[in-house]
Amino acid sequence: MKKYLVILLMVIVSVAILASVGSSRAGEDQGSRAMVDGAKQVMDGYQKMTAVMEKEGITDPELTAAQRQRPRMITVIVQFKLPQPITREVAREAFLSTATNYKDFPGLIRKYYGLSQDGRTVAGIYLWNSKADSDKLYTQNWKSFATEKYGTEPSLTYLECPVVVDNLSHEVITDD
């Protein structure tokens, strides 16, 4: 759809340029009429294009059917019940030691590290584009690494995440 809107915009600009050339050569009235006529033609073409797209059920001609079916965002809460409590400083160092592993990880929107107030539980809260994306991380190798790092096996809780309120970007994000 974006491609077609860009083309439409280019046509409108071209009509405006032609109309301004016409107005400088043949007077204001003729140029104005040419601009109005051109705009009507562009709008007629756009309406015909969108009618065909709606009839065919096409939302964006460049997307395949699979791409039009947006996967659902999910949140995964990973928790480790620690054998011994740790301090905030120890947790922070442990978190920083793995943070770069998640930077630019495909499909990962955001990751939070957390520590319970009593220091007995650490957690990772992940917002993913889809379950399929999250499955690329939570492999047996990852579970083994995490278990060795924290001295206990992780528990994973998967939550559907249809809406996210992001106050930093001032937006409400949905997976529709």
pLDDT at 164 over 70: yes
Given a contact cutoff of 8 angstroms between Cβ atoms, the answer to whether 156 and 74 are in contact is no
Residue 57 to residue 108: CA distance in whole angstroms: 30
Q: What is the pLDDT of residue 18?
A: 43
Give me the percent of the chain exceeding a pLDDT of 70. Answer: 60
Domain boundaries, the chain: 2-64, 74-174
The fold of 74-174 is Alpha-Beta Plaits (3.30.70)
pTM: 0.60
Residue 118 to residue 30: CA distance in whole angstroms: 80
Q: Average model confidence (pLDDT) for the chain?
A: 78
Residue 13 to residue 26: CA distance in whole angstroms: 20
Other CB atoms within a 10 A radius of the CB of residue 127 amount to 20
Residue 143 to residue 120: CA distance in whole angstroms: 19
Residue 121 to residue 79: CA distance in whole angstroms: 7
Residues 67-78 pLDDT 10s: 445 578 999 999
